[in-house]
Amino acid sequence: MRWTPGGLSSDVEDRRGQSGGGLGGGGLGLVGFVILLVISLVTGRNYLGAYFSSGGAAHAPQSAPRAASPQEDRSAQLASFVLGDAQDTWTQILARENIRYPRAKLVLFRDYTQSGCGAAQSATGPFYCPADQKVYLDLGFWDQLKRYGASGEFAQAYVVAHEIGHHVQNVIGIERKVRAMQQQNPRARNQLSVAVELQADCFAGVWANSSAKRNIIDQADVQTGLQAAAAVGDDRLQKMSQGYVTPDSFTHGSSQQRVAWFNRGLNSGQVTACNTFAAE
């Protein structure tokens, strides 16, 4: 990729120096949790609920920041660059349809933090929360991505662009419609989830099309993006974790599907090419 390392943009919240704490309560700790629980039981008042609802975790004392390695700082700056470039691209694309694009935030954290959708943990991998319009990313995920067989800077860029694809879905109303459809038809929950994820892959490809035209990426970068898409296919991950594949439980799509939809966005550069809900 052709980009120049620099600082982090104003769209990035860097929480890597914060302590996640335990039991979802920031620095409350086990002793504090027990004390509040006992007081709540004795008095009949829900002090635990009051603590968490008032943002007690946000006011908890933080641990001393852990120094970031030069490699981690570069990864953070790359994520910031891709975030900014992808959002500039989507601002232009949606403006053609008279849709205003509100910029998402990228939250960098280590191990654990709180999101508008609940706890964010490194084990869950990167995700987008529609409730607060933020992408949550523990940079340690890149090590896991390497173990899956995908490495290189564009593999990381693909992940960020995929999560911004979910923000685009939220902006144009797809996320709300799908959630309503899943509630109406719980049996179709996984099938709809796969369509959502494959569309985000396609949207990542639309951004890649734009970045290729501006000589930010080349064919070698595209190959690492395709490897990343294949690496996180449900069939491959299930095979690695349990030794067999159960297609009915897919929530993100197979490796072949993810590569195909990323390619569709990449080759077309058109949002209209990304209608995964109409695909057979």
pLDDT tens for residues 209-264? 999 999 999 999 888 888 888 887 877 788 777 887 888 778 898 889 999 999 99
Distance CA 135, CA 107 (A): 6
Distance CA 171, CA 164 (A): 10
**9 has a pLDDT exceeding 50:** yes
Q: Which of 174, 95, 162 is nearest to 135 (CA)?
A: 162
Decide if 235 contacts 225 (C-beta within 8 A). Answer: no
Residue of higher predicted confidence among 184 and 54: 184
Q: Which of 266, 193, 276, 192 is nearest to 229 (CA)?
A: 266
CB atoms within 10 A of CB 15: 19
Q: Which two tokens stand for residue 125?
A: 């991998």
Residues of the chain with pLDDT > 70, as a percent, come to 82
23: helix, strand or coil: coil
Q: Which two tokens stand for residue 210?
A: 């734009």
* Per-residue confidence (pLDDT) for residue 65, from 0 to 100: 53
Distance CA 93, CA 109 (A): 30
* Per-residue confidence (pLDDT) for residue 19, from 0 to 100: 54
Strand partners of residue 115:
118
Distance CA 117, CA 131 (A): 6
User: Which residue is associated with the tokens 């991950």?
Assistant: 237
Identify the band that residue 55 occupies on the pLDDT scale cut at 50, 70 and 90: very low
Distance CA 280, CA 278 (A): 7
